Copies of this chain bind each other. A is one copy, B any other.
Amino acid sequence: MIDLAAELNSASEKVNRFLNECLATGKPEELYEAARHIVSAGGKRLRPFIVIESCRLVGGDPERAVPMAAAVELVHNFTLVHDDIMDQDDKRRGVPTVHVQYGISMAINAGDMLFAKAYQAALESQPKGLSSKKTLQALETLTKAILRICEGQAMDMDFVKRETVGEDEYIEMIGLKTAVLLEASAIVGATVGGGSNREIHRLGRAMMAAGLAFQLVDDVLGLTADEAVLGKPVGSDIREGKKTLIVAHGLGHMGKRQKDILLRGLGNKAAETGEIEAAINALRSSGSINYTARKADLYARKARRELDGFPASETRSLLLALIDYVVARDR
Q: Which residues of A contact B (CB under 8 A)?
A: 26-28, 30-31, 78-79, 82, 85-86, 104-106, 108-113, 115-117, 119-120, 123, 126, 131-133, 135-136, 139-140, 143-144, 146-147, 150-151, 153-155, 157-158
Contact = CB atoms under 8 A, between A and B. Distances in A.
A116 B147 contact: yes
B146 A106 contact: no
A139 B154 contact: no
Contacts of A126: 136
Nearest to A173: B28
Contacts of A144: 120
A76 to B, nearest CB: 13
A28 B108 contact: no
Contacts of A133: 132
Given A26-B151, A85-B108, 11 more contacts: A28-B151, A30-B154, A105-B157, A109-B150, A109-B157, A110-B150, A119-B119, A120-B140, A123-B140, A132-B135, A135-B136
B115 A154 contact: no
Contacts of A151: 26-28, 31, 113
A123 B116 CA distance: 15
Contacts of A158: 28, 30
Given A86-B108, A139-B119, A139-B123, A147 B113 contact: yes
Q: How many copies does the complex hold?
A: 2
A28 B155 contact: yes
A324 to B, nearest CB: 33
Nearest to A160: B105
Contacts of A157: 105-106, 109
A116 B111 CA distance: 13
A135 to B, nearest CB: 6
Contacts of A108: 82, 85-86, 108
A155 B31 CA distance: 9
Contacts of A154: 28, 30-31, 106, 109
B82 A109 contact: yes
A23 B117 CA distance: 24
A90 B185 CA distance: 39
Given A31-B150, A109-B86, A112-B115, A120 B132 contact: no
A123 B139 CA distance: 8
A314 B89 CA distance: 56
Nearest to A145: B116
Given A31-B154, A85-B105, A106-B157, A116 B143 contact: yes
A116 B150 contact: yes
A147 B31 CA distance: 11
A143 B155 CA distance: 28
A109 to B, nearest CB: 5
A146 B118 CA distance: 12
Contacts of A106: 154, 157
A133 B126 CA distance: 10
Contact of A123 (B113, B143, B150): B143
